[in-house]
């Protein structure tokens, strides 16, 4: 009876409060970008604060993604067994605790540990938000919903770096984490009061080690799933190359003031919004396969274009911004379409499928970020090379694995 009541509330929300429902899911899935993008302008300051090199400072990003990647593999099966809402609430509470611990960091290692704990909580909303969409929509409609979701959540990374830059300038780097903790606390209250349960058919055996291994083996042996998941993961890895490297390149190499860094980041978010909005409008008409073909091609074009500009010594803040905007337009196609394509054949294990895809996405991004951080040579070349390779791998994964 309680489940029927929750489902009725969910259907009513979709009919009468669809914008509110979309914004709540967008806020949940924006915890990852918010946790990263808001403190990007503080990275050069953290390097001076803790007397650490670029590689160690970027571990606060890379190990954050490791936490994201590993914990999703747990949240997925837990949500298939217990439902989506309880793990989301647990994750939000853990996010607030981890974020506050960052404000007490006395060394770069302590900050890395706090960021790791922050990631363990933040990933719940990201992975389970996708599972909620899969619970409710068929493939094309799920792709459309995920596109609108991506568009809505893009406003967080558009605003966050600018806000973080001004907070850091006025109150210091700790104020950024205080603001993030406040956002997490508000989101916990909203999810607790407004988010009904969408998993109406929980699997009582989802947490069985044998079942978990069998589900993940099923996913990893599916060319369809692996191809779509790798296309999404490679595209995100390129974006993360920009996320982890752009503050050093723009601020340290090209002398962009830290409080203006967010304006360049906003341009990237604008490209992603254009991509997701176009994907939502055209996805039902053109079909998922054609949208993926276009999106992966645009990603490859943007990445290779940036590398060419750097090699020709035509680089600069605006010269890097243009191909990166092209890249994110293509990513706005690939992320929602690829996620829907990967999840649609597996309704009985939607949580596990979303978790494994997210784990692959963030694990690959963490590796790329770590390599880029330690390979930073005072130029834009390592970042541009990562973007080019990411775009080409994304296109190859879709065309050579998923489509075949």
Give the domains, in start order, of the chain with CATH numbers.
2-195+208-402 (1.20.1250.20)
Distances (CA, A) of 75 to 90, 340, 363: 10, 19, 16
Place of tokens 């994201």: 68
Q: What is the pLDDT of residue 18?
A: 64
Least confident of 32-36, 152-156, 158-162: 152-156
Q: Which of 327 and 343 is assigned the larger pLDDT?
A: 327
Q: What is the pLDDT of residue 296?
A: 93
Q: What confidence category does residue 298 fall into, taking pLDDT thresholds of 50, 70 and 90?
A: very high
Residue 240 near residue 35, CB atoms below 8 Å: no
Cα–Cα distance, 117 to 180 (Å, whole number): 14
Question: Which one, of 117, 114, 122, 94, lies nearest residue 32 by Cα?
Answer: 122
Query: Coil, strand, or helix at residue 398?
Result: helix
Quick count: other Cβ atoms within 10 Å of Cβ 95? Answer: 28
Q: Is the pLDDT of residue 9 over 70?
A: no
Q: What is the pLDDT of residue 15?
A: 46
Q: What is the pLDDT of residue 25?
A: 81
Q: What is the pLDDT of residue 70?
A: 81
Q: Is the pLDDT of residue 252 over 90?
A: no
**In sequence order, what DSSP letters do the residues of 86-125 get, joined into one string?**
HHHHHHHHHHHHHHHHHTT--SHHHHHHHHHHHHHHHHHH
Q: What count of residues does the chain have?
A: 404
Q: What is the pLDDT of residue 375?
A: 65
Cα–Cα distance, 67 to 212 (Å, whole number): 19
Residue 88 near residue 189, CB atoms below 8 Å: no
Residue 199 near residue 135, CB atoms below 8 Å: yes
Q: What is the pLDDT of residue 11?
A: 54
Residues 6+ apart with CB under 8 A from 394: 230, 231, 232, 234, 235, 238, 296, 299, 300, 334
Q: Is the pLDDT of residue 147 over 80?
A: no
Mean pLDDT for all residues in the chain:
80
Least confident of 18-22, 273-277, 323-327: 18-22
Q: What is the pLDDT of residue 295?
A: 92
Q: What is the pTM of this model?
A: 0.72
Cα–Cα distance, 220 to 228 (Å, whole number): 11
**What is the share, in percent, of the chain residues with pLDDT greater than 70?**
88
Q: What is the pLDDT of residue 329?
A: 92
Residue 160 near residue 292, CB atoms below 8 Å: no
Q: What is the pLDDT of residue 20?
A: 72
Cα–Cα distance, 236 to 240 (Å, whole number): 6
Distances (CA, A) of 99 to 35, 120, 177, 246: 9, 11, 6, 23
Q: Is the pLDDT of residue 393 over 60?
A: yes
Residue 58 near residue 347, CB atoms below 8 Å: no
Burial class (CB in 10 A: 0-12, 13-18, 19+), 401: middle
Quick count: other Cβ atoms within 10 Å of Cβ 204? Answer: 9
**Tokens standing for 226?**
């692996």
Cα–Cα distance, 82 to 93 (Å, whole number): 17
Place of tokens 């669809």: 18
The mean per-residue pLDDT over the stretch 329-350 comes to 83
The mean per-residue pLDDT over the stretch 276-289 comes to 79
Q: Is the pLDDT of residue 397 over 80?
A: yes
Residues 6+ apart with CB under 8 A from 55: 370, 373, 374, 376
The mean per-residue pLDDT over the stretch 351-380 comes to 75
Q: What confidence category does residue 138 fall into, taking pLDDT thresholds of 50, 70 and 90?
A: low
**In sequence order, what DSSP letters do the residues of 3-61 get, joined into one string?**
HHHHHHHHHHHHHH-HHHHHHHHHHHHTHHHHHHHTTGGGHHHHHHHTT--HHHHHHHH
Cα–Cα distance, 177 to 82 (Å, whole number): 31
H helix and E strand count, the chain: 17, 0
Cα–Cα distance, 269 to 15 (Å, whole number): 29
**What is the share, in percent, of the chain residues with pLDDT greater than 90?**
16
Which of 76-80, 150-154, 259-263 has the highest average model confidence (pLDDT)?
Answer: 76-80
């Amino acid at each position: 009876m309680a489940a029927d009541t929750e489902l009725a509330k969910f259907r009513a929300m979709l009919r009468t409060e669809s914008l509110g429902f979309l914004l709540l899911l967008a806020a949940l899935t924006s915890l990852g970008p918010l946790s990263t993008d808001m403190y990007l302008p503080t990275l050069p300051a953290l390097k001076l604060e803790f007397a650490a090199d670029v590689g160690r400072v970027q571990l606060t990003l890379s190990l954050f993604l490791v936490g994201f990647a590993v914990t999703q593999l747990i949240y997925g099966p837990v949500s298939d067994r217990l439902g989506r809402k309880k793990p989301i609430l647990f994750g939000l509470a853990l996010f607030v605790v981890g974020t506050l611990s960052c404000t007490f960091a006395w060394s770069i290692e302590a900050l890395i540990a706090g960021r790791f704990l922050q990631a363990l909580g933040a990933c719940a909303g990201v992975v389970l938000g996708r599972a909620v969409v899969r619970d409710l929509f068929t493939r094309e409609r799920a792709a459309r919903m995920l596109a609108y979701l991506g568009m809505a959540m893009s406003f967080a990374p558009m605003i966050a770096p600018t806000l973080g830059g001004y907070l850091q300038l006025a109150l210091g780097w700790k104020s950024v984490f205080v603001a993030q903790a406040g956002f997490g606390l508000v989101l916990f209250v909203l999810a607790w009061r407004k988010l009904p349960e969408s998993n109406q058919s929980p699997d009582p055996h989802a947490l069985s080690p044998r079942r978990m291994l069998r589900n993940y083996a099923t996913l990893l042996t599916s060319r369809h799933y692996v191809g779509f998941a790798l296309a999404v993961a490679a595209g995100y890895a390129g974006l993360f190359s920009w996320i982890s490297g752009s503050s050093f390149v723009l601020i340290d190499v090209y002398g962009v003031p830290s409080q203006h860094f967010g304006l360049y980041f906003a341009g990237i978010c604008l490209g992603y919004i254009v991509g997701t909005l176009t994907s939502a409008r055209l996805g039902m008409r053109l079909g998922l396969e054609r949208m993926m073909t276009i999106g992966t091609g645009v990603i490859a074009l943007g990445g290779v274009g940036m590398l060419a500009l750097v090699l020709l010594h035509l680089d600069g803040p605006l010269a890097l911004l243009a191909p990166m905007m092209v890249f994110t337009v293509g990513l706005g196609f690939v992320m929602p379409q690829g996620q829907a394509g990967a999840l649609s054949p597996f309704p009985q294990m939607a949580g596990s499928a979303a978790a494994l895809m997210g784990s692959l996405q963030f694990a690959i991004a963490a590796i790329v970020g770590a390599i880029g951080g330690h390979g930073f040579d005072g130029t834009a070349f390592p970042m541009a090379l990562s973007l080019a390779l990411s775009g080409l791998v994304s296109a190859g994964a879709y065309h050579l694995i998923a489509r075949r």
